[in-house]
Amino acid sequence: MKEHLPNQPRHVAIIMDGNGRWAKKRHLPREAGHYAGMGAVREVVRAATDTGLANLTLFAFSSENWKRPKTEVGALMALFRAYFRSDMDELVERNVRMRIIGHRSRVAPDIQQMIEDSEKRTIANTGMNLTFAFDYGGQEEIANAARELARAAAEGRLDPETITPELFAARLFTSALPEPDLVIRTSGERRLSNFLLWQSAYAELLFLDTLWPDFGRAELLQAMENFAARDRRFGAVSSEAVA
């Protein structure tokens, strides 16, 4: 059943943080926290589709995460494989369209194939756009877009004077999506950590102490209610100030 909320954001993006601390509190290996975090992903995706949310983007693996211990990286890759195998049928049933943004060429060939298969399988779906930022870094994304525009200008295909924010944004991984209205970060950290830097220029930011494995339907709905109560001005003065 749909639970449409008033003043609902079009696009919610989440930095899923705190798996390791969740496991440490329970004297478990970090991998156990990541496994619990996958359960949170499943619950949040279900809740998002139930509310009729149009776009959900989850920060699954950053370009900096390759620096983590090989055992942890390996466990994360195993979880990605498990997610693609276990959840695709439900995503199809829920009419979800999956996208992956980032530099997928650096992951194992079998994961690349799973990504391609998942995108192809859901491409015709018309419900929520579920985007995973996977091997993703915001600065790298911006640099890639700048290189593409610079190359076009050098080859005479583009007049540099015609470059606008909209033209630049069209070169980003997220060009098919609206900019996020609400960016949530769990675990108590208060930074974007190289996530959707360009796209979050006017996003509402919400930093929660909840560790990601403990974030579920209730927490998502509360976050969206928090968003609905905010006065978004986009650089202008508030309606109350004008009055």
Q: List the catalytic residues.
A: 17, 65
Read off the tokens for 5. 């909320």
| Helix intervals (H) in 94-137 | 109-122
Nearest in space to 159 (alpha carbons), one of 149, 144, 174:
149
SS3 for 24-43, per residue?
Answer: HHCCCCHHHHHHHHHHHHHH
* Contact criterion met (CB below 8 Å) for 50 and 3: yes
Q: Count CB-CB contacts under 10 A for residue 149.
A: 18
Read off the tokens for 172. 């980003």
Q: In what order do the strands lie in the sheet with 97-101?
A: 97-101, 129-136, 55-62, 11-15, 182-185, 204-207
Give the span between the Cα atoms of 16 and 28, in whole angstroms: 19
Q: What are phi and psi of 135, to 5 degrees?
A: 55, 55
Nearest in space to 12 (alpha carbons), one of 194, 219, 234, 165:
219
